[in-house]
Amino acid sequence: MTQLSVLDLSPIVQGGDAGQALHNSLDLARNAERLGYRRFWVAEHHNMPGVASAATAVVIGYVAGGTSTIRVGAGGIMLPNHAPLMVAEQFGTLATLYPGRIDLGLGRAPGTDQMTAHALRRNLAADVDAFPQDVVELMRYLAPAQPGQAVRAVPGQGTEVPIWILGSSLFGAQLAALLGLPFAFASHFAPAELDRALALYRERFRPSQHLERPYVMAGLNVSAADTDAEARRLFSSVQQAFVNLRTGRPGPLPPPVDDMDSRLDPMARTMLDQALSCAVVGSAETVRNGLSAFIARTGADELMVTAQIFDHAARVRSFEIAAEAHRTIAQAA
């Protein structure tokens, strides 16, 4: 049966601040644990006024320390921004503190604009072309130390933190298949290559010591409420935020509006139709049908549900409805 997990961007809402966003993330994680979600991941973004999870490893430690059983991880760490050894030390420390509960998803995008990427790295010599080599280097640091190994991750060596390859294109699918690692596709914001990427990953997958057979996670926006109309209203926050981001006006997550369709020009409408096509928006019945259809389409082993909802209580309620819909599907299977 397909598993259900959470991707949280620690949204900073208009009128709120990063502190409240991070407290809300912990509360959401505790609710996700209560509701039976498998994982709770946070993502690395920089210079984003609406995202509080830039220091991703720190946020993971905060969430893991405030929960008991749910797996906590990165969806993901943008590896070109970091030295592999430092990532190994950070996640090795997390795995030492919270054994058996830490995941490490790796992406090759900067998670920001080029100017901010330069500020992060001071230079752009560590470009995305080195990503495969950096992944392999990082995996070596997390593996048991070898005799004569000069550089070790302490903590880190021997923790073998599970590594995932994240992607929104065919590149990530091919790398995950080659290395025999699980693959998470960012269909919640970049769905264009979803079907081709999953097919390619499954076709070219090579079993490894980490994974015997392909394992797919697919991102999905879910905005759920007691009625379809209210769910569509809640979803307008992420629609506004996405248009703002793509038009060079990033900011805090805006409150929902009742007349979103009337606010969209043809270009914005096309943008949203393409970028947010992997979305289930509606009441419990609508969400149940939408989850079933997406599972049937992708054959995903796991869905990574995300919800950028302005009101925290409504966001928690959305994840409650999604969890109940998922249970209903499982019972009917």
Domains and CATH numbers, the chain: 1-161 (3.20.20.30), 222-333 (no CATH)
Which residue type occupies 36?
G
Residue 112 is predicted with a pLDDT of 57
Interior CA angle at 208 toward 203 and 211, to 5°?
Answer: 80
Query: What are the backbone angles phi and psi of residue 89, rounded to the nearest 5°?
Result: -65, -45
Q: Using omega within 30 degrees of 0 as the cis cutoff, is the peptide bond preceding 219 cis?
A: no
Distance CA 43, CA 187 (A): 15
Taking residue 26's Cβ as centre, other Cβ atoms within 10 Å add up to 19
Cα(110)–Cα(127) distance, integer angstroms: 9
Crossing angle of helices 84-97/131-142, nearest 10°? 40
- Total residues belonging to the chain: 333
How much is the pTM?
A: 0.95
Task: Give the 3-state DSSP-derived string for the chain, with helices as H, strands as E and coil as C.
Answer: CCEEEEEECCECECCCCHHHHHHHHHHHHHHHHHHCCCEEEECCCCCCCCECCCCHHHHHHHHHHCCCCCEEEEEEEEHHHCCHHHHHHHHHHHHHHCCCCEEEEEECCCCCCHHHHHHHHCCCCCCHHHHHHHHHHHHHHHCCCCCCCCCCCCCCCCCCCCEEEEECCHHHHHHHHHHCCCEEECCCCCCCCHHHHHHHHHHHCCCCCCCCCCCEEEEEEEEECCCHHHHHHHHHHHHHHHHHHHCCCCCCECCCCCCHHHHCCHHHHHHHHHHCCCEEEECHHHHHHHHHHHHHHHCCCEEEEECCCCCHHHHHHHHHHHHHHHHHHHHHC
Give phi and psi for 184, each to the nearest 5.
Answer: -115, 120
Residue type, 86: M
Residues sharing a CB contact under 8 Å with residue 251, sequence separation 6 or more, in sequence order? 14, 49, 50, 241, 244
pLDDT score for 255? 98
> Which stretches of the chain score pLDDT less than 50?
122
In sequence order, the β-bridge partners of residue 104 are: 74, 163
- Cα separation, 239 vs 262, in Å, equals 13
